Structure 1
Amino acid sequence: MPWQGRGYRLPMSAADPTPPTELTSLERTALYKSLANPLRRRILDYLTRHGEANSTVLARELGESSGTTSYHLRKLAEQRLIEEIPEKSGGRERWWRAAPFAHTAPDPATMAPEEYAAAERLALLKIETDTRLFRRAHEEYAGPEGWAQVQRAGVWMTKEELLAFVRAYQELLARYGHTREDAPQGARRMNLRFYAAPDAVGEWRGEPTGP
């Protein structure tokens, strides 16, 4: 199946390097189903872009009823994808913001059937989104000093070197990335993607390639 090994990831605070809690298969299944739900994805996207909202604001902006947005906000809160803003909430009015969260999907071969199906559906949705972003990056490219950047490379690495490279990439994101709250003036929300795929197993100049 089309598979993205990296799970859903929201910005993490550089000041809080606590690793995420390991999820059970049932929890991962519920997570993947939530992230594949069109309205919940739109709610998360709105909160990430605008910082905060309540059910009434989301209903107006997303064209839904406040009862519907309130229900989906509660479900997202149960999975700790969003959190309440105590200083703004009072009575029946509850304000929400996206919560720091990171998740790395396990090996699909270890997944239960229901989890696998939910992960596959989410992966297909993410591939559609990433394809649109890839096209935009090419269309909006304005040279090496512009906002849109595209980098492609092919190099030889051992598996250990590849994993070290991924860790270094994550460290660079923590070093140069900001949350919405601490972003400096002039910062824009950037959509970055990273993937690595080895050449197919075979031979090159008589030498084996692949794992």
Structure 2
Amino acid sequence: MTDGTPEMTGLERTALYKSLGNPLRRRILDYLGRHGEANSTVLARELGESSGTTSYHLRKLAEQKLIEEIPEKSGGRERWWRTLPFSHTTPDPATMGPEEYAAAEQLALLKIEMDTRLFRRAHEEYRGPEGWAQVQRTGTWMTHEDLMAFVRAYQELLDRYGRPPEDVPEGARHMYLRFYAAPEPVGEWNSEPTGP
């Protein structure tokens, strides 16, 4: 479900996952996220593609409401684009049809690959507890209610300390943050129970 918007259908989610899994569209979204705005010519030059190709993918991203045209900068054939705020939570895979599940799985594999590189970079660039690169790993006992409250508090922290693109102070850097939580498998380890 996206923030404040109606529930997406399975077909809409399938199209979204396929779009987000497209390597060029991901690079376009990444560029717009870092630079704020661009047109097809700028993107073609920066990403090593033709302007016809970047223009096509920009239109497709706009159809899915991931980006929007900047009317005050656009004129004639020159159209400038910026990203739109977007949030999506993938539903329970058991509720997905085969095509949606396959698209979601492909996107998940792409994200895992990107996150693995990011995790390795964070370790390589770690310069102590006061540096830009930080790595935290821990484990604790929680009830399901505790976990849900923790996830909400994590989002509140992101909202409190994150800055929107139009309010970035000098010295700020774009940060990649990830949060994972997974219960230990139920079973035994050294003859001790690991779950209920």
TM > 0.5 fold call: yes
Between Structure 1 and Structure 2, which shows a larger proportion of helix residues?
2
Equivalence for 1:106: 91
Q: TM-score, normalised by structure 2?
A: 0.95
Q: 1:121-136 to 2 correspondence within 5 Å?
A: 121-136=106-121
SS at match of 1:181: helix
Structure 2 residue ranges without an equivalent (≥5): none
The RMSD of aligned alpha carbons is 1.7
Q: Which residue of 2 aligns with 1:166?
A: 151
Measure the CA separation in 2 of the matches of 1:85 and 1:186. Answer: 26
Partner of 1:13: none
- Residue 40 of structure 2 is aligned to residue 55 of structure 1: yes
Give me the whole-angstrom Cα distance separating, in 2, the residues matched to 1:89 and 1:187. 29
Residues 39-118 of structure 1 aligned to structure 2 (within 5 Å): 39-118=24-103
Q: 1: CA distance between counterparts of 2:193 and 2:122? A: 36
| Equivalent residue in structure 2 for 1:120, among 76, 86, 105 | 105
**For residues 194 and 123 of structure 2, what CA distance do their matches in structure 1 show?**
35
> 8 Å contact 2:184–2:194 — kept in the other structure?
no
Q: Which amino acid aligns with 1:161?
A: D
* CA deviation vs aligned residue, 1:56-110 (integer Å, no higher than 9, x gap): 1111111111111110000000000001111101111110001111100000111
User: TM-score by structure 1 length?
Assistant: 0.88
Q: Where do 5+ consecutive residues of structure 1 fail to align?
A: 1-6, 10-17
* Equivalent in the alignment of 1:178: 163
Indicate which of 172, 175, 181 corresponds to 1:190.
175
Structure 1 runs of 4+ with >4 Å offset: 203-208
User: What percentage of residue pairs aligned between the two structures are identical?
Assistant: 79
Is the Cα contact below 8 Å between 1:20 and 1:102 reproduced in 2?
no
CA distance in structure 2 between the partners assigned to 1:189 and 1:78 by the alignment:
26
CA distance in 2, matches of 1:20, 1:167: 19
Aligned residues: 195
1:144 Cα offset (Å)? 0.5
Q: Distance in 2 between matches of 1:175 and 1:50?
A: 22
Shift of 1:181: 1.5
